[in-house]
Structure 1
Amino acid sequence: MADEFILDTDDLERRMNGALGALRTEFSSLRTGRASASMLEPVMVDAYGSMTPINQVGTVNVPEPRMVTINVWDKGLVGKVEKAIRESGLGINPQLNGTIIMLPIPELNEERRRDLTKVAGQYAEHARVSIRNLRRDGMDQIKKAKADGMSEDDQKFWETEMQDLTDKFIALIDEQLETKQAEIMQV
């Protein structure tokens, strides 16, 4: 039975990819001074008696690099959409033009850029911790198999495989962090 031990690297790799995907999602929520429709995803509007995502009450477009527009379908909701944006904490001042709400994205100052790079670093560290926890789970499986009679050569082989997988994902996280920090600091 000990000869049959095979570490499920596919499952571990899938879970590590999940941590990487979560990091990408967190990075996309960081505002870099460029307009993005995804920055409005957390904004909810009180429409028809329930809280509704903003993209379900109007069309969100990015016509220019520093402008987001929302074409609200129901004229009666324009005020509620504007209020939801003002209260969202995005720091954007909506401008009305009929049923179209324009959101000019202000230039980020140097201090705010530095703060955002620190936040990006914290997100990356959380992802690294997730990867290390997955490595620990894999190493625990290997130790259990060793206790059940796995040879030392097999143990070394699987530990090396586990470490290589971990190093690969840590490098991917570092690469994404570097890219995001360069994007944030770009003026």
Structure 2
Amino acid sequence: MAYDKNDLKRRMDGAMEQLKTEFTGLRTGRAATSMLETVQVEAYGSHMPISQCGSVSVPEPRMLTVTVWDATISKNVEKAIRESGLGLNPQAEGNVIRVPVPQLNEERRKELTKVAGKYAEGARVAVRNIRRDGMDGIKAMKGEVSEDDQKRLSDEVQKLTDGYIAQIDKMLVDKEKDIMTV
């Protein structure tokens, strides 16, 4: 694999987008359909987003409903929401699953900041893995480019990585502040 700075940037941007998506699932206060976007349901022998199993709506400020299209996977959807780490306790009524969104107390806010931290760490790991791929690509060019160029390219990849890690850290601080604001 050869070194391609644009490919590394594209992949790191992808890691950032994934983190933004995960952070939208961590809502404070009000119910929002985006809270369940990261939930993966085991159905038909694979994992799929909840949006492919049913429609999510917000009938009232503290309630989400999921209308499951296939009643046979209703239990799987309920289980996926319960085990998502979002602190939600769904109740199934046929093919409709009601998900009350609890008032955030101090303990729940702290739990959500821990979840946000896990998401941010996952993004950091993804960026570091992309960095490693870039460094491997540079090492593979040994003989094709001078050692000085290899050093310059390595520094370039490290600088790119540091910038993305700093963005992730800032996003985490902002999200934690958002969650802890009453």
Give the TM-score, by structure 1 length.
0.68
Q: Distance in 2 between matches of 1:159 and 1:26?
A: 30
RMSD: 3.8
CA-to-aligned-CA distance 1:66-109 (integer Å, 9 cap, x gap):
34467899xxx8xx97xx65994253566x9xxx9875532111
Give 1:8's match in structure 2, choosing from 4, 21, 30: 4
The aligned runs of 1:11-50 (5 Å cut-off) are 11-41=7-37, 42=39
2:119 — aligned with what?
123
2:176 — aligned with what?
181
1:140 — aligned with what?
136
Higher mean C-alpha displacement, 135-144 vs 30-39: 30-39
Give the TM-score, by structure 2 length.
0.69
The aligned runs of 1:23-102 (5 Å cut-off) are 23-41=19-37, 42=39, 60-62=56-58, 65-68=61-64, 88-89=81-82, 91-92=88-89
Contact 1:59-1:71 at 8 Å conserved across structures: yes
Larger radius of gyration: 1
1:113 — aligned with what?
109
1:49 — aligned with what?
none
CA-to-aligned-CA distance 1:121-155 (integer Å, 9 cap, x gap):
1211121111111111111221222x214223312
- Where 1:106 maps in the other structure, the secondary structure is coil
Contact 2:90-2:97 at 8 Å conserved across structures: no
Alignment coverage as a number of residue pairs: 171
